[in-house]
């Protein structure tokens, strides 16, 4: 147990540049404290002591602003940076070395619809090892987020995410990474997304605007060609002139 706690503290120190040392983690980090509550409440939950387990996590929520259901499954070296507003549902499964930021929800798609049929049914997401989820992101439903995947801030994910994939936007879509970025996917990136990546929705919007501008230019060119053809058709032809008009123009006549 103490080895696991030491590894968790070291993981926080490595992933948060604001940490001044292990003592600061112990006395001032809500992620560290909520996990102490969670480990014990999860032990109670597995032994059928569900009301005490829920009460204990409610106390942890009041003290840390982090809501974790005691029935959730959480791996080693889990870190919630800042922590406020994080919600982790009962059936959520989280691997090792996972990082969440504030405002993240690992929840169900429609918990209030026919809730009786959803009891004891997998309805929350599964996060693989090394996943990073940015602040405000919502990962909903019994989906799987693959190992070392990244979910950008405020993204809404409702479908499975392949391993080593970066998802951004609403609804979340995969971002095309360069070969160098794909090779560095194992490196820790705060908030799940490098700053130089473009939102795929924004990229699609720019492409659509370019296509509309091109179509407008082609339509304008076609209108100019049609107008020019109409003007030529309406202009009088020299061959259609009357004979006496031609005679008047001949010299000596």
Q: What is the CATH number of the domain that holds 86?
A: 2.160.10.10
pLDDT at 195 over 80: no
Is the entire prediction scored with pTM above 0.75?
no
Segment 220-227 shows an average pLDDT of 84
Residue 17's pLDDT is: 81
- One domain, residues 148 and 234: no
Residue finishing a domain among 182, 197, 212: 197
Compute the distance between CA of residue 84 and CA of residue 30 in angstroms, rounded to an integer: 9
- One domain, residues 141 and 89: yes
- Please give the C-alpha separations between residue 65 and each of 60, 103, 178, in angstroms, as whole numbers: 8, 10, 38
- One domain, residues 121 and 74: yes
- One domain, residues 233 and 160: no
- One domain, residues 190 and 209: no
Q: Which distant-in-sequence residues (6+ apart) come within 8 Å of 185 by Cβ?
A: 148, 150, 164, 177
Interval 11-38: pLDDT, tens: 888 888 888 888 888 888 899 999 999 9
Residue 24's pLDDT is: 87
Residue 177's pLDDT is: 62
Residue finishing a domain among 161, 178, 197: 197
How many domains is the chain partitioned into structurally? 2
Closest to 155 (Cα-Cα) out of 178, 132, 172, 177: 172
| Phi then psi dihedrals of residue 195, to 5 deg | -70, -20
**Omega within 30 of 0 (cis) for the link into 171:** yes
- One domain, residues 63 and 173: yes
Tell me the pLDDT of the chain averaged across its residues.
82
- One domain, residues 36 and 88: yes
Interval 152-172: pLDDT, tens: 889 999 999 999 888 988 888
Q: Which distant-in-sequence residues (6+ apart) come within 8 Å of 43 by Cβ?
A: none
Closest to 163 (Cα-Cα) out of 181, 180, 186, 142: 186
Segment 84-96 shows an average pLDDT of 93
The DSSP secondary structure of 227-251, one letter per residue, reads HHHHHHHHSPPGGGS-HHHHHHHST
- One domain, residues 157 and 219: no
Dihedral (C-alpha) 88, 90, 92, 94: value to the nearest 10 degrees? 70
- Which of residues 199 and 118 earns the better pLDDT score? 118
- One domain, residues 171 and 210: no
- One domain, residues 208 and 187: no
Instruction: For residue 210, give its domain range.
Output: 204-249
- One domain, residues 117 and 214: no
Residue finishing a domain among 177, 197, 217: 197
- One domain, residues 184 and 208: no
């Amino acid at each position: 147990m103490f080895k696991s706690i030491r590894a968790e503290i070291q993981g926080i120190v490595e992933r948060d540049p604001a940490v001044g040392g292990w003592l600061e983690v112990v006395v001032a980090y809500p992620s560290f404290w909520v996990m102490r509550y969670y480990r014990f409440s999860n032990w109670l939950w597995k032994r059928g002591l569900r009301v005490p387990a829920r009460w204990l996590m409610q106390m942890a929520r009041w003290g840390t602003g982090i809501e974790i259901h005691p029935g959730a499954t959480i791996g080693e070296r889990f870190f919630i940076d800042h922590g406020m507003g994080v919600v982790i549902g009962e059936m959520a499964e989280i691997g090792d070395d996972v990082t969440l930021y504030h405002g993240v929800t690992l929840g169900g798609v429609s918990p209030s619809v026919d809730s009786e049929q959803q009891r004891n049914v997998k309805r929350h997401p599964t996060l693989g090892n090394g996943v990073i989820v940015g602040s405000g992101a919502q990962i909903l439903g019994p989906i799987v987020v693959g190992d070392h995947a990244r979910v950008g801030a405020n993204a809404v994910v409702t479908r499975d995410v392949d391993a080593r994939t970066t998802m951004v936007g609403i609804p979340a879509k995969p971002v095309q990474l360069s070969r160098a970025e794909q090779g560095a996917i194992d490196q820790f990136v705060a908030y799940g997304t490098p700053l130089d990546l473009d939102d795929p929705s924004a990229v699609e919007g720019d492409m659509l605007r370019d296509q509309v501008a091109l179509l407008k230019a082609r339509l304008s060119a076609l209108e100019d060609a049609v107008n020019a053809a109409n003007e030529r058709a309406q202009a009088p032809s020299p061959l259609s002139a009357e004979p006496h008009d031609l005679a008047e123009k001949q010299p000596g006549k």
